[in-house]
Chains A and B, each alone.
Chain A
Amino acid sequence: MSENIMLPNPHKIINIINETENEYTFRVETNAKVKHGQFFQVSIPKIGEAPISVSSMGDNWVELTIRKVGKLTNEIFNLKPGDKIFMRGPYGNSFPKDDFKGKDLVVIAGGTGVSPVRSLLKYFYENPDEIRSLHFIAGFKDEKSILFKEDLKNFKTRFNTIYTLDKDKIEGFEVGLVTEHIKKIPFNTFENYNVVIVGPPVMMHFAALECLKNGVPEEKIWVSFERKMSCGVGKCGHCKINETYVCLEGPVFNYTKAKKLLD
């Protein structure tokens, strides 16, 4: 019998970090080779399964940052270190990290959209010589929804960062949507660069438009899509847009392709 692609495997939870009241990061033991931007189908037997992006990775572990929004994620929040979580994957394509090397990189992320780009940011944080410059705009709704506080502090030391909250005024954070801060990026000083945008669909749409308005060519923009998935391997049909399967050809798309995907 051929390999069963729907078969999940148990993985031990090493550690759990409370990011916010509703978002925890689960560090899970795995030998899987993961690329920045990929996702796992994560499940608890008898509860269900859902796609979760990898927010960080290391030797023999990955981190999954999960928001408590439904039946499965509610149950995942009851797990403790040492418990088993079921996973299959990793699935999907990834950010073209090697193409980003030696160039300027702009990362614009909103809310939980910071999660899929976090491993990429951490890579360049740990390998600063591989990137010419990195500008990172992160937007959150309010103070209590700020994710990865420790990383944000670290990133500030090596990247050009703009952190913003929609309305709240607190130290270290601007006020307003990420789109309002894109004009601060010195695109005209870059020789060769890429822009990564990840967040809610509306945010990605307007952030991309704002980049285009600031002279960024479409082919320099990369986005990551979030869709409902029941399989992650091109069978269940939920994530299909036109002839494209987000689980197979995505979740990362160049904007030249992404703008053609009509839901």
Chain B
Amino acid sequence: MSYYVSVKRMNEILKELQKHYKVYAPMRFEKRGRYSDTDLIRYAEINSIEDVVYDEKSDFSPKEVIYPITQALFYFTEYEYMESKVDDKKILIFARPCDINGFRRLDTIFLKNGGTEDIYYKRLREKIKFILMECGEGWDTCFCVSMGSNKTDDYSLAVRFENDNILVEVKDDEFTNLFVDEKEIEFTPEFVTSNPTKVNIPEIDSQELLEKIYDLDMWKSYNSRCISCGACNAVCITCSCFNTLDVIYTENGKVGERRRVQASCMHEDFTTMAGGLGFRKTAGERMRFRTLHKIYDYKARFKDEHMCVGCGRCDERCPELISFSTTINRLYDEVEKLKKGEATQTIEQTASTEEVK
């Protein structure tokens, strides 16, 4: 059933929901953006429905709700440790289709890979229900359609914002009672069916081809361009890597905690072991790793889908204006040439044709 709900009434419903749920949505943080006088839009717990930024793309993904940038695993005292706890409340997240599909990738890593479940992820994940937010026409850097992640039916509620009113589809019986007094309408959410940005995913079908891809000169162009800051990983809904870090709270050094902190495969020390031995030493090698992880080897391992959902946040966040969609398309072109036995780009050529967003 779908309903036509005023913002005022929706705020009352929100208050009802918040008795049992923490409700997260993309929120505006004024003057907190990366550049002077720009705003930051990131996920946070909302106080009113007007807090929800529905007409802009958020800078960060909703993964932080369930997989925080930094998270306590245990607290240590001198002779014992205690597992960290989470709030009893359930969680509702206003999320776009690509992000809801992105959570499925995180589920695969944290709950399935290796046949074990990560309880820190699971204990929050099983509390989550989604409120699908329509994307309207989408944004310039989105390429969700190419990645097949523009649609989802994994939501409890779906919303379309219209000035002072909100169209709501209620799919989950748990929420039906909240809307019984509202005006019924015909509404089902619409999904983006075409993006201005499109990518072609290269078909890598042999070890021989993979080895040639590793040797492509196009990766070397990122040695000078990419500054290995890891911003692309931080905003990615599907990036799941982490470090563990022990910290001591007190001067006597007897109390502390083990934390999990999000990590970036673009950072120089991502593979560096104690003693200094590391792998993937250049930015180009790390760019190659990230690219292939997102559009080749995750699917090679788990079969169903590529890791990248085409949200395009990495494009927007990169301080060096490296476009991931362009990188994928460059790789596609190079792979096509390899398959046809044509010469691939030299470093000089790639430098002169570096992508401009």
Contacts and interface: CB of A to CB of B under 8 A. Distances in A.
Interface string A246-261: 0110000000000010
Contact of A228 (B118, B242, B253, B273): B273
B240 interface: yes
Contacts of B256: 45-46
Nearest to A44: B246
B69 interface: no
B116 A50 contact: no
Interface stretch (A64-72, A128-136, A139-147): A64-72
A119 to B, nearest CB: 22
B253 A46 contact: yes
Interface residues of A, number: 44
Nearest to B249: A46
Nearest to A259: B207
B116 A234 contact: yes
A263 B271 contact: yes
A260 B214 CA distance: 12
Nearest to B112: A234
A41 B162 CA distance: 53
Contacts of B301: 243-244
Interface string B286-309: 000000110001101100000000
A248 B245 contact: no
Contacts of B246: 43, 45-49
A242 B297 contact: yes
A200 B74 contact: no
Contacts of A226: 273, 277
Nearest to A262: B214
B300 A6 contact: no
A248 B273 contact: no
Contacts of B109: 234-235, 237
B74 A7 contact: yes
Contacts of A73: 274
Interface string B119-159: 11011000000000000000000000000000000000000
Given A243-B297, A243-B300, A231 B271 contact: no
Given A227-B273, A235-B109, A242 B300 contact: yes
Nearest to B207: A260
A69 to B, nearest CB: 4
Contacts of A6: 73-74, 118-120, 244, 260
Contact of B242 (A1, A7, A236, A263): A236
B270 A69 contact: no
Interface string B243-270: 1111110000110101010010100001
Contacts, number: 124
The winner among A69, A73, A263 for most chain B CB atoms within 10 A is A263
A226 B285 CA distance: 19
A10 to B, nearest CB: 9
Contacts of A45: 74, 76, 81, 246, 256, 258
A238 B243 CA distance: 8
Nearest to B297: A243
B210 interface: yes
Contacts of A50: 274
A189 interface: no
The winner among B207, B244, B301 for most chain A CB atoms within 10 A is B244
B117 interface: yes
The winner among A200, A237, A240 for most chain B CB atoms within 10 A is A237
A235 B113 contact: yes
A232 to B, nearest CB: 9
Contacts of B277: 200-201, 226
A251 to B, nearest CB: 13
B263 A237 contact: yes
B275 interface: yes
A36 to B, nearest CB: 21
A236 B73 CA distance: 14
A243 B298 contact: yes
Contact of A1 (B123, B240, B270): B123
A234 B243 CA distance: 13
Interface string A1-32: 11111111000000000000000000000000
A238 B240 contact: no
B279 interface: yes
Contacts of B293: 240
B110 interface: yes
Given A230-B244, A236-B242, A260-B207, A46 B119 contact: no
Contacts of B285: 263
B202 to A, nearest CB: 15
25 contacts: A1-B119, A2-B122, A4-B119, A45-B74, A45-B246, A45-B258, A46-B254, A48-B244, A49-B246, A69-B274, A71-B274, A227-B273, A230-B243, A235-B113, A235-B118, A236-B242, A237-B109, A238-B270, A240-B293, A242-B297, A245-B113, A247-B114, A248-B114, A262-B210, A262-B214
Interface of B: 73-74, 76, 81, 83, 109-110, 113-114, 116-120, 122-123, 207, 210-211, 214, 240-248, 253-254, 256, 258, 260, 263, 265, 270-275, 277-280, 285, 292-293, 297-298, 300-301
